[in-house]
A and B are shown apart, each in its own frame.
Chain A
Amino acid sequence: MARRSRRFSWFCWGFLFGVYGGLALYSVVSILFPTVTTIYTTNGSMTTYTSPWWSIPVAAIPGIVLIVLAVREVVLGCYEAGRSTASPARFAPDPEGASTGWTETVQRCQQRVSHAKSEVEWSFVPLVLGVFGYAEIFASLVFQLAFPSVGLYYIILGPATALASLILLWPLYRRAKRWISDYQVVLNQQVGELSKLEAEFLWRFAGTGLPA
């Protein structure tokens, strides 16, 4: 089985930095290596400075690589987890833990629930901001090719892209909230059940109850 880092959120943060780092790189390349085009007409000449074609893939590659790695984490995670999201079986021991004792195994199960919850919590914000950044970059590139007027971009296309991104990401947000709440339910159940087991154990074998 393919091994994974179990750090989806790291790749999401990497994606965010990749997107905005790529944008910064694109700006630097545009300033340092502009493509100069001069058009001669009967009334004189007009010179325009644009970004070189290769600056777009150079700027886009870091974000793409990191989002691919993040998606890989999700796919491998789903593959390992089977179909259920937050059932106890979802956090059952993996084959690596099979040789360890059962107390360690159940502690690992508990850790895996906490880990999954924090992964979702920490990955959502960078994912949204990164997708938003990419959408804006893509929209600005398309717009620059289609229309020479920059003003229209800020008035229409920029806000429209932001709105479209937010609408598209809304289901993802709802899903993430659902997962977090499911994980919290599992954690609360485990804590409650452990507390009952502890009280029962002490009552049965030590002849005493636990202080509340």
Chain B
Amino acid sequence: MEVRRNGSTGMMDRPDLFVIGRLLEALAPGPLLRTQLQQKAGLNYTVFQRYLDFLTRLGLVAIRPTDDGRVELSAKGVDAYRFLSEGLARIFGLSNQAKVGG
């Protein structure tokens, strides 16, 4: 997977939709520690950090400073997760399995 960065803004030019989906999906049941999130998404540290920065900057996830720095979905993140899961389910002819809890 290629992840490129725009030098001026630090944003990824072409983020992988499936990686974003995996991160949001991992957070859907509830907040997770960074290491747990990284393991659930199956990413190496560098890529994970870039995507986490990207999602934080977009306001899709938030880091709880008081709870060991656990990462959680924001309200916008929940919307994004639903949008992605419904879109992917429509494309692949699946029943929508997205469930958000926590």
Contact = CB atoms under 8 A, between A and B. Distances in A.
Q: Interface residues of A toward B: which range? A: 20 to 34
Contacts of B26: 101
A96 to B, nearest CB: 15
B98 interface: yes
A102 B88 contact: yes
Given A201-B80, A206-B58, A92 B94 contact: yes
B93 interface: yes
A109 interface: yes
Interface stretch (B17-25, B31-39, B44-52, B62-70): B17-25
B14 A197 contact: no
B73 interface: no
A30 interface: no
Given A109-B94, A190-B92, A205-B58, A211 B87 contact: no
Interface string A118-159: 000000000000000000000000000000000000000000
Contacts of B98: 102
Given A205-B58, A205-B76, A205-B80, A103 B92 contact: no
A198 interface: yes
Contact of A103 (B14, B21, B76, B80): B21
Contacts of A163: none
A205 B98 CA distance: 18
A114 interface: no
Given A89-B93, A205-B80, A103 B22 contact: yes
14 contacts: A93-B94, A102-B85, A103-B21, A105-B92, A110-B92, A190-B92, A194-B91, A200-B83, A201-B17, A205-B58, A205-B79, A205-B80, A206-B58, A211-B13
Chain A to chain B: the 3 pairs with minimum beta-carbon distance, closest first:
A88-B93, A103-B21, A197-B87
